[in-house]
Structure 1
Amino acid sequence: MNQLELIQCKVEDLAKLKAIGIETYKDTFEVQNTPENMKAYLDTAYAESKLLEELQTADSFFYFLQAGAQTVGYLKLNVNQAQTEEIAENSLEIERIYIRKAHCRKGYGRYLLQAAEEKARALEKSSVWLGVWEYNLNARAFYEKMGFKRVSQHAFFMGDDEQIDFILLKNIV
C-alpha cells in the first residue's frame, strides 16, 4: 500500500470533489439504476451550489484520501445538526465513503473508516453510523466485518425510485 494521507477539502477543491463524487457514485450504482434516475440524483446531490454549502457547513468535513500522488477516494463526515438524521445520541455520521474503482480492495476503505472513528473520538463521540443500500451486499459485509450493526432503515430516493438504506451503527467507546 502506498503512503496514505487524509487531506481535508477546502472550498477551492469544489471542482475536484464534484468530479470524484460523481465518478465514484456512478461506478458504484449506475448499473442498478436507470440513466434518468441516476442523472436526476447526480444533478441534485452533486450540484456545485449544494457541495459549496456542504463544504461551508461547520459540522461537516470532507476529506480526500491520497495514496502517493493519487487521489483514491473521499470521505464526508457530519456531526451535531449537520447529520442527515438523528440516529444515536452523541454520534458521528459517515455520510459518504467512496474509493475509486481502480483502487478498491486495497485496504483504503478500512483506512477511511478508521479515520472516521478517530475523528469521532477526537470530537468525544460515542458512536459512528452510516446508511448503506440494502442491495450493496459487498459494502454491507465489509461494514459488518468492521463492527457495524443494523439498527434501522430509511427510504432513499434515486430520482423517482424509492430504495431502502439500512442504518448501521458502531459504538466506539
Structure 2
Amino acid sequence: MYRIATFDDSANIAVLSAQVWLHNYATEGINTAISDYVLREFTSQNIAKKLSADDYKYIVSERDGNLIGLISLDFSSICPITKTTAPELDRLYIQEPFTGQGLGSQLLKVAIKECKNLGYERVWLTVNHKNTRARAFYNRHGFEEIGETYFVLNEEQHLNYVLSKSIV
C-alpha cells in the first residue's frame, strides 16, 4: 500500500530513515560525525516540520500496518547543476528485508506521477558515488547523470552524482 504520509507517521519515518541511512553510509562503522548527523537529522520533530511544509511531501509504503519504505519530495529545491527549482527526490529508502521486491520502483512511479500532476516536467536527485546499487536502479528508471555535487559531513566532502529525468 502506498499513501501520503501524515503526522502520525513522523516517528516511524525518522526511525526507518535512520536505519536505512546507517545501513548504506556507515559501512565502516559509527563515528561521532555519523552519530551527530543521524541524531540531529532523523527526528520526529524534523519529519513533522517537513510534513507541515507546503513544499515537502512523503509517500510511504506499508505492509501489514508497518512502514517498510518511503520517498520524499522537496518541491522548493534548487538543482545544483541546472540552478533551477524542480522537485528533488530527496530520499528513497526501503528497509533492507524488503529490497528487491519492486517497492522502490513503485514508490518512484507514484512520486513521478505526483510531480506530473502538479505540472512539473523534470525531477532530480543526488546519489553517493559509491552506492552502485542505487545508481543502477536510477539508471534503469531513465535517470541520467548531469553533474556532481558534495554531501558535507563534519567538514568531509563526499562525492555525489546529480541525476535528472524528464517526466513529460
Instruction: Show structure 1 runs of 4+ deviating over 4 A.
Output: 84-90
Change (3 A) 1:33 1:127: farther
Q: Could you give the per-residue CA deviations for residues 27-57 of structure 1, whole angstroms, max 9, x where no partner exists?
A: 2222146422221211221133322221211
Stretch of structure 1 that moved more, 125-134 or 153-162: 153-162
Residue 143 in 1 paired to residue 138 in 2?
A: yes
Map 1:121-136 to 2 at 5 A: 121-136=116-131
Structure 2: runs of 5 or more not aligned: none
Aligned partner of 1:103 among 77, 92, 98: 98
Would you say how many aligned residue pairs link Structure 1 and Structure 2? 167
Change (3 A) 1:24 1:53: same
Q: Could you give the per-residue CA deviations for residues 133-157 of structure 1, whole angstroms, max 9, x where no partner exists?
A: 0110111111111100011221102
Give the % identical residues.
21
Map 1:13-162 to 2 at 5 A: 13-32=9-28, 34-79=30-75, 81=76, 83=77, 85=79, 88=82, 89=84, 91-162=86-157
Q: Could you give the per-residue CA deviations for residues 2-23 of structure 1, whole angstroms, max 9, x where no partner exists?
A: xxx2122222222111111111
Q: Secondary structure at the match of 1:14?
A: helix
What does residue 159 of structure 2 align with? 164
2: CA distance, partners of 1:55 / 1:153: 28
Q: Secondary structure at the match of 1:21?
A: helix
* 1:24 positional shift: 1.4
Q: Secondary structure at the match of 2:120?
A: coil
2: CA distance, partners of 1:84 / 1:38: 25
**TM-score (norm. length: structure 2):** 0.89
What's the C-alpha RMSD, in Å, of the aligned pairs? 1.9
